[in-house]
A and B are shown apart, each in its own frame.
Chain A
Amino acid sequence: MKNNWWKILTVLLLVFTVVVGMLSEVPRLAILNETIRNLYFHVPMWFGMILILLISVVYSIKYLRSPTIKNDVVAYEAAKVGILFGVLGIVTGMEWAKFTWGEYWSNDPKQNAAAIGLLIYFAYIVLRSSFAEQQQRARISAVYNIFAFAALIPLLFILPRLTDSLHPGNGGNPGFNAYDLDSKLRMVFYPAVLGWTLLGIWIINVRTRFEILRQRLYETV
């Protein structure tokens, strides 16, 4: 139980997100109306994705410094959960966009960049599955993972800012200002980000333990 306090925290944060996120007061904005509550569900997918992919990169670097099976497995599982969050982020974003921007896909710079970023990470999985030899697979995919993350950051955070975008905080403006995020929203938004990210880490935790167990079993058999 001592080591699992963060799992309890995850559950509490997510319950808080759903209950307070649905019932609290939100700014009254034209066009957005109640859909502003998507801020607690759509945006944390992307924040969670970035944090989880950061974990993946850290473990890839760790693998290159000390090649253990654990480092490789964590990097891979984290990348997969990060991709899951990214896909959920892009799908929820399209649903939200349909009813506020008018189109599922309006070729918004950030939408396009997010799609490219996800494709880069799909390639990671394809690349990984194309090696039969374990060490070669782990080493080359670790190197690719570092490049993928390095490409993702400008795609999501720099390039959309250089041009006009439908997303808030783009087209010259820095991210959160009083215009698009007031303190009432923040009170739910940050716990939501932490809650969803911890849920992703929990999934990584279970999958990693399972995968390591499986590999050990094969070694002994």
Chain B
Amino acid sequence: MKLFRILAICSFMLCTLAGIQHAQAQPAQTQVEYSSAPATTEVEMADTLRQDGKIYVVVIVLLTILAGLIIYLIMLDRKVSKLEKQFKE
């Protein structure tokens, strides 16, 4: 298990380092033109949806699903822990 965590942490640190370096190296380039579309403001985005607050509905639904899955996983985790304890005794 230790190896897992060390691996995950190392990879994360590498990623963030790479990200920070990149972001620092090219601060001016974040305004790069992304497409051949004439003016960036004309691209359709879900602004109204967010302003009206309806995007929050989606966020709530996603959070509910995520919460359900995570709670399920936590319960599974606990069950296994309990079994491990019982087995030791």
- Are B4 and A205 in contact, with the CB atoms below 8 A? yes
Is A101 close to B, CB under 8 A?
no
- Are A186 and B23 in contact, with the CB atoms below 8 A? yes
Is A11 close to B, CB under 8 A?
yes
- Are A209 and B80 in contact, with the CB atoms below 8 A? yes
- Are B46 and A34 in contact, with the CB atoms below 8 A? yes
- Are B70 and A11 in contact, with the CB atoms below 8 A? yes
Taking CB atoms and an 8 Å cut-off, the chain B residues in 33-64 that contact chain A are 34-37, 40-41, 43-46, 50, 55-56, 58-59, 62-63
Task: Pick the residue among B45, B63, B73 that contacts A15 (CB under 8 A).
Answer: B63
Assembled-state Cα–Cα distance A29/B26 (Å): 20
Q: Count contacts on A: residues with CB < 8 A to the other chain.
A: 46
- Point out the residues of chain B lying under 8 angstroms from A176, CB to CB: 22
Assembled-state Cα–Cα distance A205/B80 (Å): 10
- Point out the residues of chain A lying under 8 angstroms from B30, CB to CB: 178, 182-184
- Point out the residues of chain A lying under 8 angstroms from B56, CB to CB: 23
Task: Pick the residue among B1, B5, B37 that contacts A30 (CB under 8 A).
Answer: B37
- Are B5 and A217 in contact, with the CB atoms below 8 A? no
What are 24 A-B pairs with beta-carbon distances under 8 A?
Answer: A15-B66, A18-B62, A28-B34, A28-B41, A29-B34, A31-B35, A33-B43, A51-B8, A54-B7, A55-B3, A58-B7, A176-B22, A178-B26, A179-B32, A190-B15, A193-B15, A194-B8, A198-B8, A201-B8, A202-B77, A204-B4, A205-B4, A205-B77, A206-B80
Q: Which of A's residues lie within 8 Å of B, judged by CB?
A: 3, 6-7, 10-11, 14-15, 18-19, 22-23, 27-31, 33-34, 51, 54-55, 58, 176, 178-179, 182-184, 186, 190, 193-194, 197-199, 201-206, 209-210, 213, 216-217
Excluding A14-B70, A18-B66, A179-B32, 20 further A-B contacts by CB distance (< 8 Å) are A7-B77, A10-B70, A15-B63, A15-B66, A18-B59, A22-B62, A23-B59, A28-B34, A29-B35, A29-B43, A34-B46, A54-B7, A58-B3, A178-B30, A179-B34, A182-B30, A190-B12, A193-B15, A197-B8, A217-B87
Query: Top 6 closest A-B pairs, CB basis?
Result: A30-B37, A183-B23, A28-B43, A178-B29, A30-B35, A186-B19
